[in-house]
Structure 1
């Protein structure tokens, strides 16, 4: 397909982005072209938009960013067999090499040569996006486009929560951005006996409650360690899902987890974090996990099944819709924390 399209471009090495007209991407033999119907703003996109230290060292403007989306396939490459025009799809956003040690041993989610859509390659904040066919995930025809667009971040929540057993356990979700909010819902669906959500933002704590959190802790108003101690009878929580990336919150997570418990970390601190390894890790005998992306494609299957079953309903977490032209409104809400997930429509 030839022609021009509107796209949100990270146009310079500084704050903000710009809506521009760019060429519709041309697909290779193993790629598909997708008409984007809905694309949601991720915390990573906010890092890029605000031009923080991480983005300054990682991305190279000008380029189209964004990586969470759903849409309809409109064109396929000559070597593509399983995907057809008209298919409704989303995409695994990690493009992997398939040849490194990790890929060859079934661990492609930690491929040493991973490229992330909208970070290392052209993204989906646009009318069209071109992607490798092997990254495509087919969606049910009755799945709303906005729900379909948040499957990728929901996969982060599912991978973090289900990296170990949570059934009958107490789970603390630290950081109630959209992924943390979904993690609360996933933990309840997976049989957690109690889900404790922690954040500094009452609005987002309220969304976590709608998703299934049993106890809410605003860490700016009360001591989270004291509250958790009371809630657990002095035992601490069994599982910590760390989504905040804040050094103080991360330390609190390690201190509130019980001996033999698990701390799974999805957050991306912008600077090194100092942890008391001796007392909070070694002597406690805890398991610490770094969580990146989704298991390809095990997590996608789990996400799809949880949504189809109704065990997890992400609609309370999707709070705002804007046309792509109003992207500044969406990013402003994300920066201020006055939203759940913001969906843009090209």
Structure 2
């Protein structure tokens, strides 16, 4: 079976786009697991790879199969694997860590100095099969929708970003309503924020933010986010600002709208260095700024699982489109247009 072929979406050349190709099914090592993919979701990182932008040109080595958010059934396990069984329904932590650097040894593997990422540094999941280390496996409830199960990894980013601060009863501002920003809206509301302000320029996604629990939405092309947040908070500002956009002007506005003594969590990845007014917008305001990378392994995964299992979060409005793997181009064009939530590919 492992000597067979499979369909996969490949970045075949260093240029825009991708192709559907027939490639060998991955061969697993002693510590790895082979998974038959049931659903794979398109991430913003995948769009960077598809577009072949500056980041992708510097990081990705073509040809390669990409994609990293998925759910599926364990098809085979390596001879040294005892923690995972054939037939189990799983997803996976996408950061492969070394286990030997100081962060790994001191309980912070999510900031491992030697992290490799599935679908970026290794073969990905836009395929019929994907292989991952056994220690990266996360078991799913048998009744979980494969599409929902495939977006637990990005949901983990949203959970990590929002729940690093306890903001029950306060005001949370989410800047950038891409899929993870939309998830962050739902997480903030579920975590007890009295007000959740969603800020973006995309009217389609602002409408989705309302469905996900935003108490207010701000269209930056029509309204002044600083004035609105000030009015909503009696001039105090937002207790927690989650920056998901990566735009320098949005980052500056986010720092300005944060309350004195508030928190500013950054999940976004600005393409270029950003200049900020540290003296007036950070130091004198006493802000706590935290960079968010990945998910805490596996604390965040447990939070994600519990939030979904208990129906504390309803992510169904976010999944707006599903396509067969062969129609991946439709999915990527939707993601590039911004007229969608999460797009799922079904091998």
TM-score bin, normalised by smaller chain: over 0.9
**2:249 counterpart of 1:248:** yes
**Matching residue of 2:88:** 87
CA distance in 2 between partners of 1:315 and 1:322 (Å): 16
CA distance in 2 between partners of 1:53 and 1:163 (Å): 31
**Matching residue of 1:178:** 179
Q: Any runs of at least 4 consecutive aligned residues in structure 1 with deviations exceeding 4 A, and if so which?
A: none
CA distance in 2 between partners of 1:316 and 1:251 (Å): 30
SS at match of 1:241: strand
CA distance in 1 between partners of 2:193 and 2:254 (Å): 18
Structure 2 portions without partners, runs of 5+: none
**2:148 counterpart of 1:150:** no
**Matching residue of 1:59:** 60
**Matching residue of 2:215:** 214
Mapping of residues 1-346 of structure 1, within 5 Å:
1-346=2-347
CA distance in 2 between partners of 1:12 and 1:239 (Å): 42
TM-superposed CA distance for 1:54, in Å, is 1.1
TM-superposed CA distance for 1:324, in Å, is 0.6
SS at match of 1:71: strand
CA distance in 1 between partners of 2:12 and 2:241 (Å): 38
TM-superposed CA distance for 1:134, in Å, is 0.2
TM-superposed CA distance for 1:136, in Å, is 0.4
TM-superposed CA distance for 1:227, in Å, is 1.1
SS at match of 1:142: coil
CA distance in 2 between partners of 1:244 and 1:108 (Å): 25
TM-superposed CA distance for 1:53, in Å, is 1.1
TM-score normalised per structure 1: 0.99
- The one-character-per-residue Cα deviations of 1:70-116 (angstroms, maximum 9, x if unpaired) are 00001011111111111000000000000000000000000000000
